[in-house]
Amino acid sequence: MSKPNTRDQIFDAAMKLLSQRAFNACSVQDITTEAGVPKGSFYNHFESKEALAAEIVGHYGELGKWRDMLLDDSVPALERLKRYFTIVNGRMAERGYQHGCMIGNMSAELAEQSPVIRGQLGEVYKNWTAKLEYAVAAGQREGTIPDKTSAQVLASFLLNAWEGTILRVRVERSSVPFEQFMDLAFNKILA
């Protein structure tokens, strides 16, 4: 078995720590200690902690391959939207309602602090919204989702509401906010 390269070790350690802690609560030393590499190795692979975090945001945004289920036209649109949110809600429950969504966490912490990371976050939200919009528009064409509001606005609202739900879930350590989100989203807004 081949040994992971130093860059990958640093990247993986940072990904783990940034999902558990906030950006500002995680130092380069913390990252390299977690990676098991000398601190000086960090700067051989990354310009700065900010550059590494921007790369992680982009990578994290791509990790959501399960978001591709929103594009699966073999499944009725409303059903794929329900499955999608059930999966992401379940992932939070598995983690004991801790740590939240890395994209939401980084948005709250770094949007004002780092234009580089803010730009990367904007791209992630744009791509994520586009996949939700695709499913909503499919549901509107199928006649299972009302078309009084544009698919783009509904998709943005769903993502915004879900990110807010994640904040409440973290505070309350309860599934109640998820249950409220699912009820309102699928029995009122998309019904």
Please write the tens of the pLDDT for every residue from 55-91: 999 888 776 666 788 999 999 999 999 999 999 888 8
> Whole-model pTM?
0.86
Nearest-angstrom CA–CA distance, 95 and 148: 37
Report the chain's terminal Cα–Cα distance, integer Å. 52
Average pLDDT for runs of 10 along the chain of length 191: 79 91 91 95 94 91 76 96 92 82 86 92 93 97 96 97 92 93 96 91
Residues 6+ apart with CB under 8 A from 153: none
